[in-house]
Structure 1
């Protein structure tokens, strides 16, 4: 039997990995939402960080037979004077924000995705305002993200984008939704994106199946007990999901997914589910690139970006994105 009291150490460069003990193991949803909003990541912040992009807001209609909810989608396009010529339209990073599927907005973390490119690369960034649990349980968020994806595809010509170069990029809870959206697209014989990026992904609610969920149950960022609370809010009591549209990790099989990049820390609750997801893709002949970063806690590259191993994480992810878009070399 595994001794879950023993866990891999945090990288010595990190100071905040064990900064969330919460011994009472109670969860305050509104406090969590306020904490994320306190980062003040809004349109004004993004404009200061990325001044050579203009922003527009669009409304994507819900997809018939799935939802009648209209989804707000933000789009950022480069205004740089000299831009890379894309013969068949510009590529798109379709970014799905983190926040455990229970908090955050479409602006949260998008500048991290934008930082992988220069304005001269002329890559378009889009981010949907998907509905949050528990007010809107799964699969509402996946339906919203899929509606935004369908909008990009159907309006590709007027947006001057290339549907064959859309990368679905999810962060943390947003990575769960991104993976589910890919499975939904597969189920509906819909559009297959160029690649799927699952950054520190929240992929499976079955915490009892994973040692990492016990090793990091307390005293870390996004501890195991919080992970359980969030999934309860997202799913309620019904956990059956063979399609993976509500919980990607529960999908019966993972064939015919786009090339998938998975990044996860060795010192976080999501580690083992991420490794299993990559393994299952390989087992059915799919393509997955998996990085398990030693000493890294959940969200470390955002909270402490100056640490060397976090910088290496960013470089590897950027390399994958550039290779998929044919920008390498």
Structure 2
């Protein structure tokens, strides 16, 4: 249950900080891991940990909703391209704000749950790389996240691959995956300390 995952990431981060300066540490994740990257970064802020040198929010954004990532993708798209049907969410007026069990009892406006809900939190983010595909159900959240970070003066790069789906780069056999790997490597190489 929330916030166990952020606490786990913070425990590992504290151990890394014993051997490496924060500017040399990069954190990234895809899908729920991308969301967790943002939540953990917000957690570091709240608990006085130095911000990492750079973060990667892949296949996700920093907003949440009843169905996951938020934005108009909740209503306009489904998880396509990876041969898995989208989950069917029970919808009625008596459900909590989210159908995702991990967030049960949490507040959707808490920046530790949804960093994109707080400009104060986003303004303190390190350089952030956001990756999605035009058929990824997270696309709307990814675009909104990038636009907010940029408006707040945070260095943020957004890369979107045409016709590709949620988590596309997990398939190393497609050329676009290699393009994404190169983008990731160059981003962290530019933004992490030496």
Q: Is the 8 A contact 1:216 1:223 kept in 2?
A: no
**Does residue 1:275 correspond to 2:134, yes or no?**
no
Query: Within 1, Cα distance between the matches of 2:88 and 2:187?
Result: 31
Query: Within 1, Cα distance between the matches of 2:88 and 2:76?
Result: 13
Partner residue of 2:78 out of 187, 203, 217: 217
Of 186-195 and 229-238, more deviation after overlay is shown by 229-238
RMSD after superposition: 2.7
- Give the number of equivalent residue pairs: 184
SS in structure 1 of the partner of residue 125 of structure 2: coil
TM-score (normalised: structure 2): 0.81
Query: Within 2, Cα distance between the matches of 1:227 and 1:317?
Result: 33
Partner residue of 1:317 out of 181, 184, 191: 184
* TM-superposed deviation, 1:202: 5.3
* TM-superposed deviation, 1:172: 1.6
User: Whose relative contact order is higher, 1 or 2, with alpha carbons under 8 Å and at least 6 apart?
Assistant: 2
- 1:190 to 1:149, Cα distance in 2 relative to 1, 3 A: same
Q: Is the 8 A contact 1:211 1:272 kept in 2?
A: yes
For residues 84-126 of structure 1, the C-alpha deviation after alignment (integer angstroms, 9 at most, x for no partner) is xxxxxxxxxxxxxxxxxxxxxxxxxxxxxxxxxxxxxxxxxxx
Query: Within 1, Cα distance between the matches of 2:156 and 2:13?
Result: 22
Structure 1: gaps spanning 5 or more residues: 1-136
Q: Is the 8 A contact 1:200 1:298 kept in 2?
A: yes
* TM-superposed deviation, 1:165: 0.4
Query: Within 2, Cα distance between the matches of 1:210 and 1:163?
Result: 32
- 1:226 to 1:298, Cα distance in 2 relative to 1, 3 A: farther
**1:239 aligned residue:** 107
* TM-superposed deviation, 1:321: 1.6
SS in structure 1 of the partner of residue 158 of structure 2: strand
Which structure features the higher share of strand residues?
1
Query: Within 2, Cα distance between the matches of 1:325 and 1:257?
Result: 14
Query: Within 2, Cα distance between the matches of 1:228 and 1:263?
Result: 29
SS in structure 2 of the partner of residue 164 of structure 1: helix
Q: Is the 8 A contact 2:66 2:100 kept in 1?
A: no
Partner residue of 1:291 out of 146, 159, 163: 159
Which structure features the higher share of helix residues?
2
* TM-superposed deviation, 1:318: 1.4
Partner residue of 2:49 out of 172, 186, 190: 190
* TM-superposed deviation, 1:162: 3.7
For residues 25-78 of structure 1, the C-alpha deviation after alignment (integer angstroms, 9 at most, x for no partner) is xxxxxxxxxxxxxxxxxxxxxxxxxxxxxxxxxxxxxxxxxxxxxxxxxxxxxx
Partner residue of 1:165 out of 24, 49, 59: 24
Partner residue of 1:300 out of 156, 163, 168: 168
SS in structure 1 of the partner of residue 37 of structure 2: helix
- 1:283 to 1:195, Cα distance in 2 relative to 1, 3 A: same
* TM-superposed deviation, 1:212: 2.4
* TM-superposed deviation, 1:216: 2.6
Q: Is the 8 A contact 1:265 1:292 kept in 2?
A: yes
Give 1 or 2 for the bigger CA radius of gyration.
Answer: 1
Query: Within 1, Cα distance between the matches of 2:140 and 2:89?
Result: 13
Partner residue of 2:36 out of 165, 168, 177: 177
For residues 178-217 of structure 1, the C-alpha deviation after alignment (integer angstroms, 9 at most, x for no partner) is 1111111122332111001111125433268523233333
